[in-house]
Amino acid sequence: MFLRLLLLFTVVPLIELFLLIKIGGVIGVVPTIAIVIGTGVLGAGLARWQGLAVLRRINDDMTAGRLPTDALIDGLLILVAAAVLLTPGLLTDTLGLVLLVPASRAVVRKAVAAGIARRVQVKDPDVIDAEWFREE
């Protein structure tokens, strides 16, 4: 886990810096900065819009008596998208925008749900643990 975090916090910023320098060299500094700011503003608006939609889905599911599992995973992915959109850079902004699009988020949601299912082990799905007492 430590190695993954070390790579995440060292390699990703280096890739972002490389991309910003290359793109800045091709289109110029001001347009590159405008793109980074524009994706941040666009991403913030999309995150707010998608986040409110997920909150409505969670509320609807809870009102109907259903567990909002897909909506909760969507909420987590939107939170991750908002966090990576806060970091300056084009690679992380692209990842954040991909997570904010419902169609691509559905693909990521399936992968996340499969990962969670692999880590959670059900002992015996046919046994319900309960307590009871006789009322007379």
The domain ranges of the chain are 36-119
Other C-beta atoms lying within 10 Å of the C-beta of residue 99? 27
For residue 15, what pLDDT is reported? 92
The overall average pLDDT reported for the chain is: 88
**Does residue 30 carry a pLDDT above 90?**
yes
- 53-105 per-position pLDDT tens digit: 999 999 999 999 998 999 999 999 999 999 888 888 888 989 998 999 999 99
**Does residue 126 carry a pLDDT above 90?**
no
Residue 64 per-residue DSSP state? T
Can you tell me the distance from the alpha carbon of 69 to that of 75, in angstroms, rounded to the nearest whole number?
10
Other C-beta atoms lying within 10 Å of the C-beta of residue 25? 10
